[in-house]
Structures are given as C-alpha cells and as structure tokens.
Amino acid sequence: MTSSPFDLSGRKAIVTGANTGIGQGIALALAKAGADVALVGRSAAAETEKMVSDTGRKAIQIKADLSSIEPVGDVVAEAVDQLGRVDILVNNAGIIRREDALDFSEEDWDAVVDTNLKSLFFLTQAVGRHMVGWSSQDGDRGKIVNIASMLTFQGGIRVPSYTASKSGVGGLTKLLANEWAPKGINVNAIAPGYIATNNTAALQADETRNRQIMERIPEGRWGDPADIGGAAVFLSSKAADYVQGHILAVDGGWLAR
C-alpha cells in the first residue's frame, strides 16, 4: 500500500519561533503528519513541546536568540545531534516595529532586518549545507519553508523595516529555489493573512479595525494557526516535490479582493 504523499513519517524538522501562534500551529501540524520537531526560539516552548509529544512524535527545545547569526551553527548541530538529521526547516521567527517612515530609527530598522532576513538566510544556508550531503538519496528531498507576509506583496504603513524584510524573504525564496533545486532541495514560502494569535489580539479587540479586516476577507473569518500548519505540511511533503520558489498566500482571499 502506497503511503500518502503528505506523510512526513520519519522526517525531522526545525521550526523557529515555535513557542506560540503560527510557529506552534506549524510544529503541531508537522508532528501530526509524522515528523519529529526541534522547537527553536528565545522563549521556552514547553506548551508546544507537550502538544507535539502528545501526538507520539519527538519534540526537543533549542534555546536560541535569532536577533543575530551567532547561534546558527549551534542550532543546526544540536538538531542533527538529537534528531539524526534535518529534512525540513521552517523559518517562522520574526519581529515587527511600528513607526512613521519619517521617524523610523536605525535601531528599529536593524533589529527587524537582522532577525527577519539576515538570520533567516544564514540559518537556511547552514541547513542547506547539511541537506546537500544527503538530499536526493532514495528520492528524498530537503524542504525549506519560509514565512513571508501579505507585505511581501503589499506596502503596508508604518512598518518600513518589516515590509523590506518580508519583501526580501520573497526574493530570497526564489533565489534559493533557483540555486538549490538541482541539489535536491525545495525552497518555498507561506504568506499568512490575518491569523488569530496573541500577536494580533489588539487588532481583534479593536471593534473598528476588526470589522474593516473582516470586510476585506472573502472567507469572512480570521485565519487559525492550523490553516498555516496545513500549508506547511504540503510544502514539506513529497506532494510538493515539483513546487519551487512559490509564495503561497494563506489569507482567506485577502489578496484576491
């Protein structure tokens, strides 16, 4: 009996920013599909670890502050040591700073770009170097999934460094796909729409903004982290072996409006 092309049994994943929200939803979805997961972040991910373990899959926590590239090598080494290898990398960790472009500071620019783009690239580079050592063996391929944004496509307001970084994530996804497809690695991205998490709690609580957002979404609801998790499972699975350099909007139709 042929297994499902979405089955991730035996696969080993790294998910950054996995302690809550979208990262937690992705880690849980990968585990439910059969993957063991390394949970990387500055904050403890005890809740996510338990959720993953409850599926019967292995979960490990790796503490790392990805505001700089300093921990990148140790993250990959620890994941390989504890899981055996890395088949999947989901780059979810990110931050945002808000201020009018006329008043935006260099500090806020550097903090966001360093975390959202620079660390993402160098962690991906480190995992890519590991993946090229085994990818394409027995048809296996490495899978990189970057978390982009609606602001990969749109400009937004008062978030210049975030928009720049997420636009950069989109471009980098395509570049790495071009270079690494022949090496047996798929590189794609997910652009989440408005997802109901603790990070968007203030928007959900603002009656006016919540109504404006809901009116723009054809699906008529906020997204759930599980919606992003399903997309991550697809892009991490054999079902997406011929998908390269794609930015998958999971937005309830926001961009189509």
The catalytic residues are: 162
How far is the CA of 178 from the CAs of 7, 130, 142, 184, 210, in angstroms? 26, 18, 14, 11, 39
How far is the CA of 18 from the CAs of 50, 142, 161, in angstroms? 12, 20, 22
Residues 6+ apart with CB under 8 A from 8: 30, 33, 34, 35, 88, 233, 236, 237
Instruction: Compute the distance between CA of residue 155 and CA of residue 71 in angstroms, rounded to an integer.
Output: 31
Instruction: Compute the distance between CA of residue 158 and CA of residue 92 in angstroms, rounded to an integer.
Output: 22
Helix (H, G, I), strand (E, B) or coil at 235: helix
* Positive or negative: CA dihedral 230, 232, 233, 238: positive
Residue 161's H or E segment, with its range, is helix 160-180
